[in-house]
Amino acid sequence: MTELARKIVAGVGGADNIVSLMHCATRLRFKLKDESKAQAEVLKKTPGIIMVVESGGQFQVVIGNHVADVFLAVNSVAGLDEKAQQAPENDDKGNLLNRFVYVISGIFTPLIGLMAATGILKGMLALALTFQWTTEQSGTYLILFSASDALFWFFPIILGYTAG
């Protein structure tokens, strides 16, 4: 593992080029200072590395299921501390479109569950009316209809809360 870790650190441009390092189930995810220093082709030919992906401002090295062991080895070889394992805070790097998408997804992500529940409730109400299980004048329908509309009536306020 240590030899593979040394090759990976050298392939990403050395320990000084690593801003942060994280891992998922199969990949090491590097945030690099200068992506031009990374040698993707050299890393792709290295035994033990399945593939290399450059995506979303990350330099990803696909290792496989033993990624946790390689992660620890890369940390020790590169001399990374705990801060390097955390995702960096918002930086001003990246193009405008990436930053815009990041902000919008950050605002709407907490609302996905609420919007799904509201949509399901509206669908169930429409189904109940279609099969005449209820009427538009029934108390149950009116309460559920109001609850399903509440998200959309207060959507600007809720968006402001999640954006802040």
pTM of the model: 0.50
Three-class SS state of 59: strand
**Structure tokens given for 28:** 């090491």
- In sequence order, what are the beta bridge partners of 22? 29
- In sequence order, what are the beta bridge partners of 54? 59
Residue 87 is given by DSSP the state P
Percent of the chain that is helix, strand, coil (3-state, to 5): 60, 15, 30
Radius of gyration in angstroms for the set of CA atoms belonging to the chain, rounded to a whole number = 24
Report the pLDDT value the prediction gives residue 92, as an integer from 0 to 100: 52
CATH 3.40.50.300 for domain 2-87: no
Distance CA 39, CA 138 (A): 67
Pairing of strands 51-55, 58-62: antiparallel
Report the pLDDT value the prediction gives residue 163, as an integer from 0 to 100: 84
Q: How high is the mean pLDDT in each 10-residue block of the chain (164 residues)?
A: 84 85 85 84 87 81 86 83 48 72 87 92 95 93 93 90 83
* Catalytically annotated residues: 24
Report the pLDDT value the prediction gives residue 126, as an integer from 0 to 100: 95
Pairing of strands 27-32, 58-62: antiparallel
Three-class SS state of 52: strand
Sign of CA dihedral 120, 125, 128, 134: positive
